[in-house]
Amino acid sequence: MSFLPASGRTPTFAPDASDFGRSTDRKHARWALTIAVVSFVTLIGAAGFRSVPGVLMDPLHMEFGWSHGTISAAVSVNLVLFGLTSPFAAALMDRFGIRRVVAAALTLVALGSGLTVFMTASWQLILLWGVVVGLGTGSMSMAFVATITSRWYVARRGLVSGVLTAANATGQLIFLPLIARLTADHGWRLAALVVAGAAVLTVPLVILLLRDHPHDVGVVAYGASPADPGLPRLNAPTGVARRALSTLRDGARTGTFWLLAGSFAICGATTVGLVGTHFVPAAHDHGMPSTTAAGLLAVVGIFDIVGTICSGWLTDRYDPRLLLLGYYGLRGLGLLTLPALLGPDVQPSMWVFILFYGLDWVATVPPTVAITRERFGDRGPIVFGWVFASHQVGAAIAAFGAGAIRDATGSYTIAWYAAGGLSILGAALAVSIRRPRPAHLLTPGQAVPSPN
């Protein structure tokens, strides 16, 4: 089947900036802002527990005697489910609405985080930290961002994608220093309860202010005209699992899907899987205090906000394939230099790496969302859910693999070099995605080609 937008228009890689301002009515602008703010806060809450693993790895190891590999296995389960839940969550949002799915997901995060204070065995860590929290956060992953931007925005989709993606970094910025300090002063249990409380407090905000579609409040997508309101409201008649799996089947028949999935798997491996999970213990291996290393990751979060928003702005204007080429290539060079920068003190060269890596952290998301939406139409959010699943599979492999490398060799050096090489491969995969043929080059009567 074709994934082209229902309108039959040829997708382009640069949304028309003149669309901005079509919806000048105050009601349209107010709802567009409200949805963006509520989604941003929701993603901050979801990011809170995902920022915890690197900080709690050493305390759990010291209290329970669990190896780094065992704790990394729980992180890997969390990351895999975080990704694999994403396309099904996007289908659930089509079937039952965004608000219900997100409220239920936040409740799962709160339960999983809160119940960890009672665990006594490693299987409980895997069940709560891995399965329960993985399912909850997976329902509020980047597929949620793709769904919101596809339904609520025509103008500035790339910019809004960047802002919402930056919420993950904001959550890291808020929670990571707090979790590190609470863990150092009061133990890891209080830190887990704080994260659970943040998720609980976000639920009423979602229920009261989040809406499933612009039509629910009598408006059209921001930047759209009444004659061109954006993606239609979907009332998926098929089962959620069937819709998600059929979208995967059709998407997997295209080369674009596999190039996106492969590059995004490398993105996950080189960010949340490796650096997000193992940077703190790796720095500690070199004599750096854990609180200092956690503070550096928080600084990554600061620059991540700037980098992701700027990436969204650039995605509205430039070929996203070329943006991905630059992001992955520069990331690879940074990772190859990291082993030489780690030490007991934070040198100026480490600050340069932190600044650079922060700007690049999830800058890949807006251009990847844009390519998916433009190539796969109204099923783009679900396709992106599967692409994001590959991101988390890559993250899970890196999280477990780096922990195993640390147990076997006593060092993370091999993991850093391997991640640098993978990033350069990701650049090659991204730039290999072929652009759709512009409509003015098609001969009369010639069909617009499906993605390949």
Dump pLDDT digits (tens) for 160-208. Answer: 878 887 777 677 667 777 777 888 788 888 888 888 888 888 889 888 8
Which of the four pLDDT bands, split at 50, 70 and 90, describes residue 443? very low
Cα separation of 386 and 303, whole Å? Answer: 27
| % of residues, the chain, pLDDT over 70 | 85
Q: Higher confidence at residue 27 or residue 240? A: 27
Strand partners, 225: 228
Residue 7 has pLDDT above 70, yes or no: no
Query: What is the structure's pLDDT at 173?
Result: 67
**Calpha distance 30→222 (Å, rounded):** 10
> 251, 257 in Cβ contact below 8 A?
yes
Would you state the CATH architecture of domain 19-215+239-434?
Up-down Bundle (1.20)
Phi-psi region of 9 (alpha: psi -120 to 50; beta: other; left: phi over 0): beta
> What is the pLDDT at residue 444?
37
Q: What is the pLDDT of residue 427?
A: 93
How many CB atoms lie under 10 A from the CB of residue 284?
Answer: 18
Q: How far apart are CA 93 and CA 114, in angstroms?
A: 26
Between 3 and 407, whose confidence is greater?
A: 407
Confidence of residue 359 (pLDDT cuts 50, 70, 90): confident
What is the predicted pLDDT for the residue at 14? Answer: 38
Contact (CB, 8 A) for 120 and 190 = no
Query: Can you tell me the distance from the alpha carbon of 291 to that of 284, in angstroms, rounded to the nearest whole number?
Result: 9
The radius of gyration computed from the CA coordinates of the chain, to the nearest angstrom, equals 21
Distance, in Å, from the CA atom of 103 to the CA atom of 58, rounded to the nearest integer, reads: 32
- Picking from 405, 400, 389, 415, the residue whose alpha carbon sits closest to that of residue 53 is 400
Q: What is the pLDDT of residues 32-56, one digit of tens each?
A: 888 888 888 888 777 766 667 667 7
Interatomic CA distance for residues 181 and 194, integer angstroms: 12
Query: At which residue do the structure tokens 């609180």 appear?
Result: 291
Q: Is the dihedral of CA 220, 224, 226, 232 positive or negative?
A: negative
- Cβ atoms within 10 A of the Cβ of 134, count? 31
Domain ranges of the chain: 19-215+239-434
Question: Is residue 17's pLDDT more than 60?
Answer: no
Q: Structure tokens of 143?
A: 């597929």
pLDDT at position 88 over 90: no
What pLDDT band is residue 448 in, cutting at 50, 70 and 90? very low
Mean pLDDT value across the chain: 79
pLDDT score, position 191: 80
| pLDDT single digits (tens) 371-395 | 988 888 777 778 888 898 888 788 8
Residue 449's pLDDT is what? 43
**Secondary structure string (H, E, C) spanning 62-76:** HHHCCCHHHHHHHHH
What pLDDT, in 10s, does the model give residues 283-323? 888 888 877 887 888 788 778 888 888 888 898 888 899 99
Check pLDDT > 80 for residue 104.
Answer: yes
pLDDT of the residue at 18: 42
- Residue 11: what pLDDT? 40
pLDDT digits (tens, 9 = 90+) for 228-277: 555 555 555 556 677 788 888 888 889 899 999 999 999 989 988 888 88
Choose between 7 and 151: higher pLDDT.
151
Answer whether residue 452 shows pLDDT above 80.
Answer: no
First-to-last alpha carbon distance for the chain, in angstroms, is: 12
Q: Which residues contact 78 (CB under 8 A, 6 or more apart)?
A: 50, 53, 129, 130, 131, 133, 134, 137, 396
Q: Is the pLDDT of residue 222 over 80?
A: no
